[in-house]
A and B are shown apart, each in its own frame.
Chain A
Amino acid sequence: GAGVSQSPRYKVAKRGQDVALRCDPISGHVSLFWYQQALGQGPEFLTYFQNEAQLDKSGLPSDRFFAERPEGSVSTLKIQRTQQEDSAVYLCASSTPRDREYNEQFFGPGTRLTVL
């Protein structure tokens, strides 16, 4: 079956622009995660959804970052008024229908955001 997909794969934005990044998780996966990976670093947690409910947004770096998953499947990460420090790869992951702490996550290819 299809894995996690993300679009666009690459995004260049001018400082101050708004961007929207899309994630299509594996069908039937209840849990969805967003991570930010800066160059040369490990992924850092941003936010977590269980179905349409956003249960943890503790990793969002500022109120310019907003994520939604209105129907419990596709998710969008929106960044308003982008800044250069937002430049990173944004990874989406989903996990099995009965997600437990010992379950692995399935990652998409990421969206590389470059803010000029």
Chain B
Amino acid sequence: AQSVAQPEDQVNVAEGNPLTVKCTYSVSGNPYLFWYVQYPNRGLQFLLKYITGDNLVKGSYGFEAEFNKSQTSFHLKKPSALVSDSALYFCATRGGGYQKVTFGTGTKLQVIP
């Protein structure tokens, strides 16, 4: 079965500092990994995905993620956090013959001015 884990319920970071939101995965076959962001009272928005190839994936709003096969991780990163980045972030996986997306439990990112 496909699964992803987000070990941190909340991450606090000062505005302007780099941020990292952690995700580890357990999948069979090729790992297709995604990051989504959810703002209050809104649906999920796609940020970026890893399919194959370059381990550093660049996405929307200056976010990027690093795929690490040996550590089975797909951490979300941004060099300089903005207050407007404060939201709920979900790591997800899709694959192994399944059409559905399996989400992590989410990490609340709080960027402090």
Contacts and interface: CB of A to CB of B under 8 A. Distances in A.
A99 B34 CA distance: 15
A91 B32 contact: no
A1 interface: no
A105 B101 contact: yes
Interface residues of B, number: 26
A59 B100 contact: yes
Contacts of A99: 99
A104 B41 CA distance: 21
Interface in B2-43: 32, 34, 36, 41-43
B22 to A, nearest CB: 15
A45 B100 contact: yes
Interface in A70-93: 91, 93
6 smallest A-B Cβ distances: which pairs?
Answer: A42-B103, A107-B43, A45-B100, A104-B46, A107-B44, A101-B95
Interface of A: 4, 31, 33, 35, 40-45, 48, 50, 55-56, 59, 91, 93, 99, 101-102, 104-110
